[in-house]
Structure 1
């Protein structure tokens, strides 16, 4: 039944190749991104009672104190149960049989597994880690550290702490909201050293609500209890709030919240939605191309279909034949798409920092056949309808051309060009915005500077040893230590004499060596820098009225001093990364620290090759850690320039993916235009020949062929411009530091698309226009 269709494709290899390539590539990317999006939307949904679990938080951070649940939850009847967990900082890693392992620790309550529906082996899931010296290990860590041996009963050395392994926890999979952890310890370790109602945000508290409970009512109740308990916060908020509010977020909605908490996986809903929409648009573009070329080729199959009709085949039979052919062609494209997607999955895993599995869930198992049926029908129904309108006698008379001007092909060409223009404009806008963020003035130097987060205890003696060992390296020009840096700063409140919060200082503490290393420029100096004093920026000076006669601000302390004593003024700088914005009430300052105070952050200025210097620094840090702590603990070390770049990774990857889709869309559109120009060129040979016989030039003849494509492209430009403007405005609104609206990009995108259309059709049109008119007339 399909022999005639296969023969037709073999005789029209160009069209078959264009259709198959466009549809297969589009399907490949749709499969990848639908799989990615499905997995992202399923994160946090695998707990049986995910819709009844809520995490308490304050301000813009999901987390509270370790004592929050015990203090407040028993008096709230809507809360039927709760559990707690939080990271346990263990710089010593794990020593097992004399072997050192890097490990991430999570402190959990005894009911953690039962409450959160996690599986464990070797111990009762309803009462875990009843002893502070017990631990559980994840399946993957057990395999890495113990091999095939049974880890239960073995000992893990964590600094001075000895932990006995009593169970094995299942690994958290792709759909789990929690990030992977290696070792699970008892909450008693935290409770022994942490203040129950202090250290906000360090503990994640999960509550289970009654099915009929109103989460908003519970949130309001919690807020009232917070305000009543921490009465001192009333002074800072006017008595109506607590730490900028109270959060109570459902478990399966946390993944896409703005709260970027290390303990949870964090997704970008905007990125997922944009990629999904772009992939579907790309698929539509490929489908338009396929339908357009298929309909254009109807004239070439007219005699075959007319013969079938004359031999008794019904209109419905011919339509069904086209649908079957579409189903066959789509099946082949699906198979090719699967092969292409498998080839590109590693690239997408790298760009999206994920692990894509095409068949990770049941959702995709029903999506594939459903998508296949819809695409097959969509791709075959229009050609089938067009064929059904043909009368066999028209084919016999040779009047089929007059009935097949195919006005709808112009619609598809316009649609494809609208897609291409939109993607081109968005890609250029993204590149301009990313360049703007990369070149954003920081107000300090980052070149050749490495930031190290020490795993030592921060004592001046140990930090001095680490600093001196680093300075001795030939790759190191200078080194010093302090607390944080301009990228990693913290907030300190500024209060008036009534103890009301009137502003915030974004601060980090370093010595004069670090300030020189960072290129911080001193504008005014009121006194010698000393521990406890601060440098304020020019902007902060204006905000708090600081001067040589008033080198202080903030409320007066009991000792008669003010909250902040100022030793001088420095040039303005930007704290955080290129995506950060200081609120109107936030101002920058640098605290003075001396070597006698110690610190946990090291700044190192290197010389020569970065990779070589970074490796030498990391090796030295491990050696010093082994000498001072007994274990070769890794220390986080990264060039500040790389930190700034990595913080833009999501935005950069979105740009790269949009550029990729743009390139594919343009390729599909260009191939479609080329194929259509070949078809129309062949169809119009007799008309062009007669025009040339009547005296038309080659240019006139070529214009007659090319103008329909260029006019369609111009129509696409008119339609695309308002769409592009809206999308550009929406995209740029996400950035604090954004470029001015680049109107010229709209013109550039239009010109680029018109140029692609011109290049796609010019070769064929010129060849047709330059052909011998006598040959064309004879052929007719």
Structure 2
């Protein structure tokens, strides 16, 4: 029986090649989109699950409200981990990570340094908490002594080639020697942090024991059976017991007074496997994903697949008149309804199996480009792994059953007497379900069009918004700290080059860079109501000028004023929190050591206009600039029209001064854009899948228009004989579809508005959703529908009426 079904199904598909092509290609594109998005979603959901103890690992996060700032940190005070392990038996182990950014690295004896990112200090318990297999070395001892380093397999190959790195010395940051004590496998890509170098925490030059400073990413491993929610309630006790006395000692206030002044300090736990998609804290070890995009793309995959299935159902029911007599004859010859259902379902499943084969080819072709857009390294092998293979096999069967169920039941329900008498009516207007399905298709297409327009407008707004400083033609040379006292010499040499307007050396830039927070108080006692928590940047005399910042009061730092070593420039946000009406000349102070024994007082000499130094998702916070010899990077403002030549000249100056150090640079506008790379990727992906969804919907509309024209051939012939024009016939055939598209636009507009309003909530600075966006999306949908339908309408309208009426 099954063999017979398959033979008939195959012959039917061959006989109706146009119908078969539209169905198979539409389903194939839908399935390919679904599989690509499924790979993306599964990759996002897999982060950190490679850890054997992932279900028991949690990160301690900090939420602090002080001095007008709400700060939500992924880091916590350095004593949190050891204290939890000491005081609470529920904690099996802890590990702290202290990210030190980018350093120059080489093996001792090698003439040239390499620039290495994500240099990380870690406790010796690193391998007790995380699953990071060592290829060489003892995980218990690898980081248990000072000046030891565990390197990744790829780093070992970069620095040592085929030689054994174990026991070999390496030079970090130009003057710090560490001995290789272990080689680990490269960290998986689906980890929320990455490092090729883990240095022993015992060698980190850090003032330990600071309960009021947040600089370490702290992870705890809870014992089996521990309720993390109940355990997190202990943090209030820890703050009172440990942070409270330190606050009283340093700033002379109790935690009760601290809270009465409107301030807050708290810790909470986030599961390791939730960090990548659910954490929106500041100072993450790497940019995270967003669960919203997982939900959005999962919905898009489902909708595209539904649109493809709708095409199948619409085309199958639209062709029912052509197969009605076949059903009638089969029933007269004794076929039962279940046999007819089985026949039609076999055709449906065979179509989806063929579509799946084509879809796999499309995925294989598209995956490299999709990986580039999504910044992933997914492979087709993931789909045929034992975990996903059952899903891959069942997908065409499930889709075939879902897409073919209604046509099978619809076609098999025809009564043979009615059919053979030719009385069955399956006109376009009589099938309400088919109209509803067309509305759904274009409703989802309009939602995707609106979403894509808004995403791209928001990205454009971010890239073109006045951020309060001039990032154009500013080049940043990284790793200037590696040349020590020669940093100023390098700056002066570059300034002599034609085309270089100005230059500055600083470790802090208004793009993703290091962060340094301090509490400042108005002159007098440490009054919680007169304090402000702000970022504190050490800069040089030329910083404000080089970055094109605008002073609204006072003056810039000047070498003509020796007192500027104790001068400070605040931004407008900091002045507002401090409450100064006339800030110039006022004094503020901060603690100058971790024990709160010494203070440093500054005189306000200038107020800089607010500028964005973090993502536009956040409001502008308080910021201070002070003179300091921080040589993290050198920034130069260029005016040359021939930038490539000037870049070579700057590199030549670097090589003269630091021949053993790598020359690394980036333009500031590119660094700024990197903060929104995720949104750019999402916009590109959204545009791609919106176009594909519209393509699939148009395929179905094209097929429907063809069958509608076929059914109304004689009507068109009669109308033409009676004098109807080609235009009136085109309008007659198109208006039914246009009505459905208009209904889809009306339904889609509020849905799209709500969805995109939710997405824009993540941005403190965002565009307005204007009416013309929906008008444009509607116009595009109508234009696409008209172009699709018009081809068949024009073809039918131009047909010779003699041919369609000669059998009458």
Alignment TM-score > 0.5, same fold: yes
1:415 matched to 2:440: yes
The residue aligned with 1:170 is 185
The partner residue of 2:520 within 491, 494, 503 is 494
CA shift, 1:157, in A, is 3.9
Residue segments in structure 1 that go unaligned for 5+ positions in a row: none
Instruction: Tell me how far 1:56 sits from its aligned partner.
Output: 2.0
Deviation, 1:604, is 0.8
**Structure 2 residues without counterparts, runs of 5 or longer:** 64-71, 559-563
CA-to-aligned-CA distance 1:123-156 (integer Å, 9 cap, x gap): 3333334443443332223334444444334443
Q: Distance in 2 between matches of 1:581 and 1:720?
A: 32
Residues in 2 aligned to 1:544 and 1:126: alpha-carbon distance in whole angstroms:
50
Q: In the TM superposition, what are the counterparts of 1:192-591 in structure 2 within 5 Å?
A: 194-197=207-210, 200-231=213-244, 232-233=246-247, 235=253, 238-240=257-259, 244-256=265-277, 257-259=279-281, 261-263=283-285, 266-360=288-382, 362-401=386-425, 405-456=430-481, 461-473=485-497, 476-487=500-511, 488=513, 490-496=516-522, 497-501=524-528, 502-525=531-554, 529=558, 530-537=564-571, 540-541=574-575, 544-546=578-580, 551-554=585-588, 563-582=601-620, 586-591=621-626
Distance 1:548 1:383 in 2: 78
* Range with greater deviation from structure 2 (324-333 or 142-151): 142-151
Specify the alignment match of 2:735 in structure 1: 707
Compare 402-411 and 414-423 and name the one that shifted more. 402-411
Q: Shift of the alpha carbon at 1:384? A: 0.5
| Distance change >3 Å, CA 26–CA 473, structure 1 → 2 | farther
User: Is this contact kept in 2: 1:50–1:252, CA < 8 A?
Assistant: yes
What is residue 746 of structure 1 aligned with on the other side?
774
Contact 1:535–1:566, Cα closer than 8 Å, also in 2: yes
Deviations 1:48-70 (A, max 9, x none): 22222222232322333444333
* Contact residue 590 and residue 600 of structure 2 kept, 8 A: yes
Shift of residue 402, structure 1, vs aligned partner: 5.1
SS in 1 for 2:348: helix
Q: Relative to structure 1, is the Cα distance of residues 563 and 280 closer, same or farther in structure 2, using a 3 angstrom cutoff?
A: farther
CA distance in 1, matches of 2:11, 2:647: 62
Distance 1:443 1:544 in 2: 21
- Retained in 2: the 8 A contact 1:93–1:633? no
Partner SS state of residue 208, structure 1: strand
Report the 3-state secondary structure (helix = DSSP H, G, I; strand = E; otherwise coil) of the residue aligned with 1:254: helix
**8 Å CA contact retained: 1:575, 1:588:** no
Query: Shift in Å at residue 120 of structure 1?
Result: 1.7
- Displacement of 1:370 in angstroms is 2.8
Task: Kindly report the root-mean-square deviation, in angstroms, between the aligned alpha carbons of the 2 structures.
Answer: 3.2
SS at match of 1:230: helix
- Is 1:5–1:325's contact at 8 Å kept on the other side of the alignment? yes
Match for residue 48 of structure 2 among 22, 44, 51:
44
Alignment of 1:762-773 (within 5 A): 762-773=790-801
Which has the higher mean CA deviation after the structures are superposed, 283-292 or 560-569? Answer: 560-569
1:752 to 1:82, Cα distance in 2 relative to 1, 3 A: same
Q: Deviations over 1:424-479 (max 9, x none)?
A: 111222222222222211222111002334342685x3221221343355564432
Rounded to whole Å, the distance in 2 between the matches of 1:704 and 1:161 is 82
Give, in angstroms, the shift of residue 416 of structure 1: 0.8
Aligned CA distance change for structure 1 residues 141 and 700 (closer, same or farther; 3 Å)? same
Distance verdict in 2 for CA 1:455–1:555, change over 3 Å: closer
State how far apart, in whole Å, the 1-side matches of 2:525 and 2:609 are: 31
C-alpha distance 499-622 of structure 1, shift in aligned 2 (>3 A): farther
Change (3 A) 1:102 1:548: closer
Q: How big is each residue's C-alpha offset from its partner over 1:612-651, in whole Å with a ceiling of 9 and x where there is no partner?
A: 555654665466444xxxx42454x321111121111111
Output the TM-score relative to the length of structure 2: 0.87
CA 1:589–1:131: 2 relative to 1, 3 Å:
closer
- Taking structure 1 as the reference length, the TM-score comes to 0.89
Shift of 1:581: 1.4
Residues 1:135 and 2:153 aligned together: no
